[in-house]
Structure 1
Amino acid sequence: MTAITLHHLITAFGITLAAGLATVLGSVLVMFSQGPNPRVLSFGLAFAGGAMVYVSLTEIYTKSSEAFALAYGETHGFAATTLAFLAGMGAVALIDRLVPNPHETLDAKDPGFRQQSRQHIARVGLMAAFAITAHNFPEGMATFFATLENPAVGAPLAFAIAIHNIPEGISIAAPVYFATRKKGLTVFVCLLSGLAEPLGAVLGYTALKPFLSPAVFGSVFGLIAGVMVFLALDELLPAAKRYADGHETVYGLTSGMAVIALSLVLFRL
C-alpha cells in the first residue's frame, strides 16, 4: 500500500468531482439541443458499461485480492475478496429496492409526456433526482478510492461514470425543465444530484480514515467492484439496449472494454 499524501487526496477528489459534474451536462443537452441521437446514446451507455465492467473485474478486483492477501494470506484473501465483491452487488441491489432508480429517460417530445400536468411532471423530476442522488453516493466512493490507490485505474473508471452521468442528468432535467421552464433551477437540481458523488467520497474517506489498513482497502475495493458491475449490468446495458437500433450496444460494450484495456497498458509503459 502506498502512503496517502495531500496531493493524492486532491487528485482523487478532483477526478470524483469532475465525474459527478457530468450530470450537469445532461441538463445542458436538454435545454440547448434537440435531444441526443438515440443510437449515439446507446453506444455511449454501452461503452461506459463495458469500461466499468472491465476495470472492475481486471483492476479493482485484483487490488482487493492483493490487499486481502497482505492481511490474511492468499487463500483466505481470495475468499475475502469474493465475499466483498458479492456484498457490493448485494448492497447496491438493496439500495435499488429501497430507492428504485428511474430507468426510463423522459422525452419532452413524447405526446404522453405532454398530457401530464406540469405539477406532476415536476414531482417526477424531483423523484428522479432523489433516486439518482442515492445511487451517486457509492459511485463517488468507488471513483475516489480507486483513484486514491492508483490514478491509472481511477481515471478510466471516472470517465466511464461521467458518461453514465450524462443520461442521468437528462432524466432529471427533462421533467424539471418542461414543468418549470427555469434553466437555473434545472441546472441547480442536476448539480445537487451530481455533487452527491464527491460528497460520498468525502463521507466515505472520513469514516474509514482512522481504520485504513490492507484489510480495509481490500474490503473497499471488493465492494467497489461489486457495485460497479451491478450498476453496469442493471442500468447501463439495459438502457443502451432500449435506445439501440442495431448493434450499437455490443459495439459500445466491446469498444469500452478495448479502450480501457489499452489505456491501462499505456499507463504502465
Structure 2
Amino acid sequence: MGNEALAFGLVCGSGAATFVGALGVYLNGGKLDPAFLSASMGASAGVMIYVSFVEIFCAKAVDSFAESGSSDVEARRHATLLFFAGIVSTFALDKLAHLLMRRQGWSAEGGRATRRKNDLAPERRDDEQRSDAESLEVRDASGRKIEATERGKVGGHDEGLRKAGIITALAIGLHNFPEGLATYMATIGSSSTGIAVAVAIALHNIPEGLAVAVPVFYSSGSRAKGILWGVLSGLSEPLGGLFGHLVLKGTDMNPLAYGTLFALVGGMMTYISFAELLPNALYHDPSGHSATASCLLGMAVMAASLLLFEA
C-alpha cells in the first residue's frame, strides 16, 4: 500500500476548504445558499457512508486482519469491535468540543436536525441592545446553529462574537482531526476512494470555515482576521493525516496496524455522516427530498467509481 504523497496532498486539500468557506465573508454578508448546503452535505454523507461500510470496513479492515494471520471469524470480530470503538472515540471528541463551547457561556447542540434556538449571542450590556440587534445566522457542518449579532456597524469589536469565533475554530479543529485521519487512510487503501472521501470532506468544510470567519469578522471589522481563523480551523486535518502516517511507519506497515486503523476510521466516518452531515443536510432542506436524493446520489457515484476502478 502506497500513495503517501497523494494521501497527504488530499488531506491538506480537504482541510484547505475551510479557507474557501471563510472567503464567504466577502459574499452576501457571510451567508451560503441553503440549497447548496443541503445538497453538498447530503452527497458527502452518501459518499462517506458507502465508503465506510463497503470499502473501508468490509474490505480493507477485514482483509488486513486476515492478512495478519487472523481467521475469517476473528478478522470480522476484530474489525467490528474496532469499528464501534471508532464511533465511540469520535462521539467523545464531539462531546469534548461541545463542552469546550459550553464553558464559554453559549450552548451548542450538534447532530440534530432541529429548529430550536441554539443561540450564540454576544454579551449584552442591557435589554435595549437585545431589541435593536439584527440577527445573522450561521450554521456549521456539525449541526451547530450560530446566531451572531450585527448591530448595523461592522467594527463594533464585540468581545462575545470574537470569543465565539475563536472557540468555534477550536471546536471544529478538534472534530476535524479524525477527518484528516480518515482521508489519509482511505487514500492509502485506494487512491480513487481517497479522492472521493477528500471531496466529500472538503464540501462540508466550506460552511465550517464560514462559521468560524463570520463571528470574528463582525466582532473585529477585519475580513482578514475572520479568514485567518477559518483557515486555522482546518489545520487539524493534516495533523490527523500525519498521525496515521506515524502509526503505520512505527509498525513497519504491519497488516495488523492497517486493519486497526481502517476499522477505527470506518467507525469515525460513519459517526460523522450520521451525527453531523445528514442532520445538517435535512436542516437546510425541511422537505427532506433534496437531502435524501443527494445522499443516495453520493452513494451511487461512489459505488460506480469503485466498480470502474476495479474493472
1:156 alignment counterpart: 196
Give the AA of the match of 1:261: A
Give the AA of the match of 1:96: D
1:12 alignment counterpart: 7
2:232 alignment counterpart: 192
Contact 1:60/1:153 (8 A) holds in 2? no
1:114 pairs with 145, 149, 167, which one?
149
Give the AA of the match of 1:27: A
Residue 203 (str. 1) matches residue 243 (str. 2): yes
Contact 1:81/1:222 (8 A) holds in 2? yes
Contact 1:105/1:170 (8 A) holds in 2? no
Counting matched residue pairs gives: 263
**What SS does the aligned partner of 1:36 have?**
coil
Once residues 12 and 221 of structure 1 are traced to their aligned partners in structure 2, the CA distance between those partners, rounded to angstroms, is 14
1:36 alignment counterpart: 32
Residue 69 (str. 1) matches residue 66 (str. 2): yes
Once residues 268 and 105 of structure 1 are traced to their aligned partners in structure 2, the CA distance between those partners, rounded to angstroms, is 48
Q: TM-score, normalised by structure 2?
A: 0.79
Give the AA of the match of 1:127: I
Which one has the largest radius of gyration?
2
The percentage of counterpart residues that share the same residue type is 34
2:295 alignment counterpart: 253
- Deviation readout 1:167-197 (Å, 9 max, x if unpaired): 1112111211111121221121111111210
Residue 90 (str. 1) matches residue 88 (str. 2): yes
Once residues 79 and 169 of structure 2 are traced to their aligned partners in structure 1, the CA distance between those partners, rounded to angstroms, is 33
Residue 165 (str. 1) matches residue 161 (str. 2): no
Do the aligned partners of residues 136 and 64 (structure 1) sit closer, same or farther apart at CA in structure 2, a change above 3 Å counting?
same
Deviation at 1:108, TM superposition (A): 6.0
Give the AA of the match of 1:130: L
1:240 alignment counterpart: 281
**What SS does the aligned partner of 2:184 have?**
helix
Once residues 149 and 36 of structure 1 are traced to their aligned partners in structure 2, the CA distance between those partners, rounded to angstroms, is 34
Q: Which moved more, 1:81-90 or 1:177-186?
A: 177-186
Residue 181 (str. 1) matches residue 221 (str. 2): yes
Give the AA of the match of 1:75: V
Do the aligned partners of residues 44 and 252 (structure 1) sit closer, same or farther apart at CA in structure 2, a change above 3 Å counting?
same
User: Greater RCO between the two (CA within 8 Å, min separation 6)?
Assistant: 1
Contact 1:46/1:236 (8 A) holds in 2? yes
Q: TM-score, normalised by structure 1?
A: 0.91
Once residues 249 and 293 of structure 2 are traced to their aligned partners in structure 1, the CA distance between those partners, rounded to angstroms, is 40
Q: Which moved more, 1:153-162 or 1:98-107?
A: 98-107
Once residues 12 and 108 of structure 1 are traced to their aligned partners in structure 2, the CA distance between those partners, rounded to angstroms, is 41
Deviation at 1:32, TM superposition (A): 2.6
Once residues 201 and 239 of structure 1 are traced to their aligned partners in structure 2, the CA distance between those partners, rounded to angstroms, is 25
**What SS does the aligned partner of 2:32 have?**
coil
Once residues 80 and 72 of structure 2 are traced to their aligned partners in structure 1, the CA distance between those partners, rounded to angstroms, is 12
Do the aligned partners of residues 89 and 196 (structure 1) sit closer, same or farther apart at CA in structure 2, a change above 3 Å counting?
same
